[in-house]
Amino acid sequence: MFVCPGERMRNEVRSMPGVFNLSVDEAVKEARETYSLGVPAVILFGLPEKKDELATGAWADGGIVQQTARAIKREIPDLILIGDVCLCEYMSHGHCGIVRSTPQSLGAAVAAPPAATTEYEIVNDASLELLARTSVSLARAGIDIIAPSDMMDGRVAAIRKGLDEVGFINTPILSYAAKFASGFYGPFREAADSAPQFGDRRSYQMDPANIREAMREIELDLEEGADIIMVKPALPYLDVIAAARERFDAPLAAYQVSGEYAMIEAAARNNWIDRDRVMMESLFSIRRAGANVILTYFAKDAAKLLA
């Protein structure tokens, strides 16, 4: 669910028919309907009023996701709320961590795109503090599961430490452990207004050709304290899901991402495929590969068919 400021806002995402940017009041209605269908959990992504170079909207107590979490918990307390922890939606430059142009001091985060000839890098360790702060803020607002998707090194350990220090010792972490630098994220970046303003995310997301790196990343996240691991995207990486299921004993999730959803919707609207049949076939394949949990934009429709 993509949540945004305002009231009575329900704006359909152009590239994702049936998916909306929702104001808090509409998000509560959507959550109520979703829970009534038997879907046990939703994940929240935020579109802040303002962006800056420190992702203030991600960790502010009055942030849009924090507001939505409190409102949903008041109305549907048994619905499990997952909070996506990333900074890209809240950063002025659209990257998942603090950015500096080089050579500069660590404190020189840049808000504006550097010149075409400027080199830049993600400041990994300084970004961990913001990720941990965001996680604590979300937990205080009622988020049940913290889901870091940023792919900074060491972020699971930093988040676990941050949560434990303020008493959230039982708040689980669902780590986007194997998140690939994929071309399937395009519609999401429209929905969340999170496209990077310069460069790309290949330096901190994973090489689609390298399954060994994925296994190392999963192992590291589990060692740092992840409770659930996730592979993203799902359908192009069924082999990674299967390999992770065979190698690791932890609960395993898979994210059927926006591009996967959009392709099925587009083909169905052109009458090239049977939408419901292909939707369910895609979900069965993810489950068959070994995922215990599926994060999908088809959740409501699949729940109706399964019922």
In-domain check, residue 116: no
Q: For residue 161, indicate whether it is catalytic.
A: no
Confidence class for position 106, pLDDT limits 50, 70, 90: very low
In-domain check, residue 137: yes
Confidence class for position 191, pLDDT limits 50, 70, 90: low
Residue 215 buriedness (CB in 10 A; 0-12 / 13-18 / 19+)? middle
pLDDT at 153 (0 to 100): 86
CA dist., res. 284 & res. 298, Å (int): 12
Q: Is 89 in contact with 48 (CB distance < 8 Å)? A: yes
Q: Is 81 in contact with 146 (CB distance < 8 Å)? A: no
pLDDT surpassing 70 at residue 239: yes
Alpha helix (H) residue ranges in 225-289: 238-247, 258-269, 275-289
pLDDT at 59 (0 to 100): 76
The pair of structure tokens assigned to 238 is: 């069924």
CA dist., res. 163 & res. 83, Å (int): 14
Give CA separation, 276 vs 180, 188, 222, 271, in Å.
27, 22, 36, 12
The lowest-confidence range among 10-19, 112-121, 246-255 is 112-121
In-domain check, residue 283: yes
The CATH number covering residue 241 comes to 3.20.20.70
In-domain check, residue 112: no
In-domain check, residue 219: yes
Look at residue 103 and give its three-state secondary structure. Answer: coil
Identify the domain containing residue 79 by its residue range. 2-93+125-306
Higher pLDDT: 108 or 298? It is 298
pLDDT surpassing 50 at residue 189: yes
In-domain check, residue 136: yes
CA dist., res. 80 & res. 145, Å (int): 8
Active-site entry in 50, 51, 73, 179: 179
Tokens 């996506």, residue located: 84
Mean pLDDT in the chain? Answer: 89
Q: For residue 304, indicate whether it is catalytic.
A: no
Stated as kind and residue range, the H or E segment containing 110 is none
Per-residue model confidence as pLDDT tens digits over 11-44:
999 889 999 999 999 999 999 999 999 999 999 9
Handedness of CA 105, 54, 127, 295 (dihedral sign): negative
Max CA distance (Å), the chain: 58
Tokens 């959740």, residue located: 299
Active-site entry in 29, 51, 161, 232: 232
Task: Please report, rounded to a whole number, the percentage of residues in the chain having pLDDT higher than 70.
Answer: 87
pLDDT at 269 (0 to 100): 95
Among 141, 45, 129, smallest CA distance to 88 is for 45
The lowest-confidence range among 114-118, 214-218, 238-242 is 114-118
CA dist., res. 292 & res. 59, Å (int): 30
pLDDT surpassing 70 at residue 192: no
CA dist., res. 122 & res. 242, Å (int): 31
The pair of structure tokens assigned to 88 is: 């890209």
In-domain check, residue 101: no
pLDDT surpassing 50 at residue 51: yes
In-domain check, residue 118: no
pLDDT at 81 (0 to 100): 98
**Number of structural domains found in the chain:** 1
pLDDT at 105 (0 to 100): 46
The pair of structure tokens assigned to 61 is: 């107590």
